[in-house]
């Protein structure tokens, strides 16, 4: 019988809430692996065992596992008998060819102490069997092949090498947030980082069609699809922003418009967040990256809303963010050229040190609440799911 044996990391620290975290993780795994011939998911002693049917597609399962937050590492494992000869035979029959590796070590962990032989003795004796079969040298620090035995009640798992999972906390365990998703490189990474910390993320994109093209909406949709591979269910709000921007131009001086647009984006997102029972907003701001992201401007935008605003990328360099975007699969979509909503009706050199009183004056003559309400009401809402099981 083949299984995937997975370990979780941080959940182990969650004390009394631990069963609840594990329950969420198991539920998420069931959803993530839907359609892939998973027979059962069990949780023997601090581990997760995904029992696979005969026709299970291991590669596809591994690919999906690599995006399930809360998983520290995982490997394809076999259940083996709880006696020395049974274990040794199981190991030797699964060893790769002699030439493919040059060093190994055996790692034994006894989650169930009823098994009488101490782990180091068992590791040494099993190691000796491997040495006789292949002649590889033992390397305790940098072995090419790590052969692991984990003893649980009534059985043991055998696996060779393990793959790193994405870490983080199971989706949804931290509650819900609303992320502002532009078509750029940063905001999808910001949304993903909140997902990784267990947040379910509702996505909001502002577009200026018909003043600008539909490209940004198409990009937001494609970015949302990639992000959905991590959280499995997403809602994307596409908010028409052009008419609001046109009204802003009537009374707000050019150099302040970007800050004012930002404040409106946050207010509309906050409204959507309240309806969705989300508790915080998320943006891809990075201090000093562009004119709208000076400390002064960030402070001037924040005061528009009461909800906490998370900026998980705030201290990262562009290079680091780009590398992360490439790993998670959004980079290629983000670099497709399009027109930036925030530059519609704005001068080339916007204000970099907006002050509170300037912002208040600029907004005094605007029907702020009505504009927010109208834009939120006109949003198109799209739901996405992953995987799509036929």
Interface positions with ligand ATP (CB under 6 A): 180-182, 184-187, 205-206, 265, 283-285, 289-290, 292-293, 341-342
CB of residue 238 to ligand ATP, shortest distance in Å:
9
> CB of residue 285 vs ligand ATP: minimum separation in angstroms?
5
Tell me: does residue 297 bind Mg ion (CB under 5 A): no
Cα separation, 314 vs 201, in Å, equals 18
Q: How far apart are the first and last CA of the chain?
A: 26
- E strand spans, 81-174: 103-110, 137-138, 145-152, 155-160, 163-164
Q: At CA 265, angle to CA 307 and CA 188, rounded to 5? A: 85
Binding partner selected for residue 77 from Mg ion, ligand ATP, none, CB under the kind-specific 5 to 8 Å limit = none
Q: How far is the CB of 308 from ligand ATP (least distance, A)?
A: 15
Residue 185 interacts with, from Mg ion, ligand ATP, none (CB under 5-8 Å by kind): ligand ATP
Among ligand ATP, Mg ion, none, the one that 180 touches (CB under a kind-dependent 5 to 8 A) is ligand ATP
Among 184, 198, 312, 350, binds Mg ion (CB under 5 A): 184
- Interatomic CA distance for residues 133 and 129, integer angstroms: 6
**Closest to ligand ATP by CB, 3 or 301:** 301
Which C-beta is closer to ligand ATP: that of 133 or that of 290?
A: 290
The Cα–Cα gap between 266 and 139 comes to 55
Query: In this complex, which beta carbon is closest to ligand ATP, that of residue 289 or of residue 352?
Result: 289
Say if strands 380-385 and 233-240 run parallel, antiparallel, or are unpaired.
Answer: antiparallel
Neighbouring C-beta atoms of residue 194, cutoff 10 Å: 22
User: Which lies closer to ligand ATP via its Cβ, residue 69 or residue 261?
Assistant: 261
CA angle 245, 247, 253 (to 5 degrees): 80
* CA separation for the pair 86, 333 (Å, rounded): 51
Residues in the chain: 390
- CB nearer to Mg ion: give 150 or 285: 285
Contact partner, 284, from Mg ion, ligand ATP, none, Cβ < 5-8 Å per class: ligand ATP
| Binding of residue 283 to Mg ion (CB under 5 A) | no
């Amino acid at each position: 019988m083949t299984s995937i044996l997975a370990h979780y990391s941080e959940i182990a620290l969650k004390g009394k809430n631990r069963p609840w975290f594990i329950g969420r993780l198991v539920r998420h795994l069931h959803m993530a692996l839907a359609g892939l011939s998973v027979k059962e998911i069990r949780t023997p002693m601090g581990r997760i065992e995904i029992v696979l049917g005969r026709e299970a597609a291991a590669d596809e399962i591994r690919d999906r596992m690599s995006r399930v937050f809360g998983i520290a590492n995982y490997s394809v494992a076999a259940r083996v008998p709880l006696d020395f000869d049974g274990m040794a035979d199981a190991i030797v029959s699964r060893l790769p060819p002699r030439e493919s590796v040059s060093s190994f070590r055996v790692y034994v962990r006894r989650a169930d102490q009823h098994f009488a032989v101490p782990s180091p003795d068992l590791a040494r004796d099993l190691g000796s069997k491997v040495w006789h079969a292949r002649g590889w040298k033992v390397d305790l620090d940098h072995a090419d092949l790590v052969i692991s035995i984990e003893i649980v009640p009534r059985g043991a798992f055998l696996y060779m090498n393990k793959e790193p999972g994405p870490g983080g906390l199971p989706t949804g365990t931290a509650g819900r947030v609303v992320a502002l998703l532009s078509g750029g490189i940063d905001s999808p990474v910001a949304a993903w980082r909140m997902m990784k910390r267990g947040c379910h993320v509702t996505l909001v994109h502002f577009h200026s069609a018909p003043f600008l093209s539909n490209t940004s909406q198409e990009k937001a949709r494609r970015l949302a699809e990639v992000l959905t591979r991590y959280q499995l269910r997403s809602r994307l709000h596409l908010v028409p922003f052009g008419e609001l921007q046109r009204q802003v131009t009537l009374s707000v001086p050019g150099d302040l418009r970007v800050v004012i647009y930002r404040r409106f984006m946050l207010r509309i997102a906050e409204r959507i967040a309240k309806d969705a029972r989300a508790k915080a907003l998320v943006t891809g701001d990075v201090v000093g990256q562009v004119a709208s992201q000076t400390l002064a401007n960030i402070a001037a935008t924040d005061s528009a809303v009461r909800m906490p605003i998370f900026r998980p990328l705030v201290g990262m360099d562009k290079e680091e963010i780009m590398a992360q975007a490439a790993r998670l699969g959004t980079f290629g979509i983000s670099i497709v050229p399009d027109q930036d909503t925030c530059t519609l009706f704005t001068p080339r050199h916007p204000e970099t040190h907006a002050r509170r009183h300037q912002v208040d004056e600029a907004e005094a003559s605007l029907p702020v609440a009505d504009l927010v309400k109208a834009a939120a009401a006109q949003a198109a809402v799209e739901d996405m799911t992953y995987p799509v099981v036929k």
